[in-house]
Structure 1
Amino acid sequence: MQLLDRVRVICLALPEVTERPSHGSPTWFVRDKSVFVTLHADGHHHNDFPHLWCAAPPGAQAELTAADSARFFRPPYVGGRGWLGVRLDGAVDWTEIDELCRDAYREIAPKRLVTLLDAAPDEPA
């Protein structure tokens, strides 16, 4: 399965998520208005490798980039708001990507949708 297909399956499995391009890249929205994940399959700006940007819980960006700067980075534009950049070249841990996308969703979605997500059985992509 291609990179876009894998991320798409993960994100569209979440409640009330839609997909459309934003700034030329596939992007997933909660209720068609609030971005929580963007995929840059061909790279973006000076990051010429496949990666995604995702909303992250407070402190996660600093913790993950310090623990593994080869995989995680502070993305331009949204990094100042705590978003996380995740490299998708090399071996990708899809269970981890599923968890990161779910965490991103939890940061952006209204509480009612998070409750729906938490009530559903976990089915990693």
Structure 2
Amino acid sequence: MSARPDPLFRLRALALALPRTVEKQAWGAPTFRVDDRIFAMADTPEASTAPARSGPAGLSVWLAAPEGAQEMLIEAAPDGTSEWSPDWDEVAFNLARAHKLIAARRARSRR
């Protein structure tokens, strides 16, 4: 039986594969930035400032998202499901969407 990859390692690999992305520690947690603006932040048990984070090995992820995305996620899991078994294709999609959203905002602000 093979060991499952560390979820933070997988998240980091997906995020850093996006153009112009850098990782920077902030508030004791890894953040992923494009053009020095955060598009994703991981919250690990070691860095967490909030109680009872859940997910694989206690990992939770904050992502920039378009208007209405949070409401859709809440409606999809109205019971506040605490266990998260990620679909890594979906994680990659959402990371790319967050990256694109923040990069576009940055480009608009430079005009």
Relative to the length of structure 1, the TM-score reads 0.67
Change (3 A) 1:90 1:58: closer
CA separation in 2, counterparts of 1:41 and 1:14?
22
1:29 offset after TM fit, Å?
0.5
Q: State the match for 1:55 in structure 2.
A: 64
Q: State the match for 2:50 in structure 1.
A: 45
Q: State the match for 1:98 in structure 2.
A: 92
Larger C-alpha radius of gyration, 1 or 2? 2
Identity of aligned pairs, percent? 29
Change (3 A) 1:61 1:112: closer
Change (3 A) 1:93 1:110: same
CA separation in 1, counterparts of 2:71 and 2:84?
22
Unaligned stretches of 5+ residues in structure 2: none
Of 92-101 and 44-53, deviating more is 44-53
1:47 offset after TM fit, Å?
4.0
Q: State the match for 1:35 in structure 2.
A: 38
CA separation in 1, counterparts of 2:52 and 2:91?
19
1:90-117 Cα deviation digits (max 9, x unpaired)? 422111111111111111013798xxxx
Relative to the length of structure 2, the TM-score reads 0.75
2:26 counterpart of 1:22? yes
Provide the aligned length of Structure 1 versus Structure 2.
Answer: 96
CA separation in 1, counterparts of 2:61 and 2:105?
24
Unaligned stretches of 5+ residues in structure 1: 72-86, 114-125
CA separation in 2, counterparts of 1:44 and 1:96?
26
1:38-90 Cα deviation digits (max 9, x unpaired)? 0012244134322000000111111111112435xxxxxxxxxxxxxxx7x54
Q: State the match for 1:64 in structure 2.
A: 73
Give the match's secondary structure for 1:10: helix
